[in-house]
Amino acid sequence: MNILIIGATSGIGHNLWEHYVSSGHNVIVVGRRRELLDDMVRSCPEHITKFVPDWLIPVWQKEKVCSG
């Protein structure tokens, strides 16, 4: 199973990715702290994919971003 966890670097999200990876699932982790996401991937590269969103895009430019 493929699972997407937003907020995976701490709290419930952190516990969830550990649970699902230990159960053999593929997990996509999303978070703001790139170094913590990198540590997760290093711990189990065959089951974890990271995604670090670009938080630097101003909200008023969202149409520009969405249109490509």
- The rounded distance, in Å, linking the Cα atoms of 40 and 29 is 9
- The rounded distance, in Å, linking the Cα atoms of 52 and 48 is 13
Indicate the pairing of strand 48-51 with strand 2-6.
unpaired
Q: Which of 14-23, 27-36, 44-53 has the highest mean pLDDT?
A: 14-23
Does the structure show a pLDDT above 70 at 58? no
Per domain, the residue ranges of the chain are 2-66
pLDDT of 31 reads 85
pTM (two decimals): 0.71
Paired strand residues for 30: 6, 51
- The rounded distance, in Å, linking the Cα atoms of 42 and 52 is 15
3-class DSSP state for residue 19?
helix
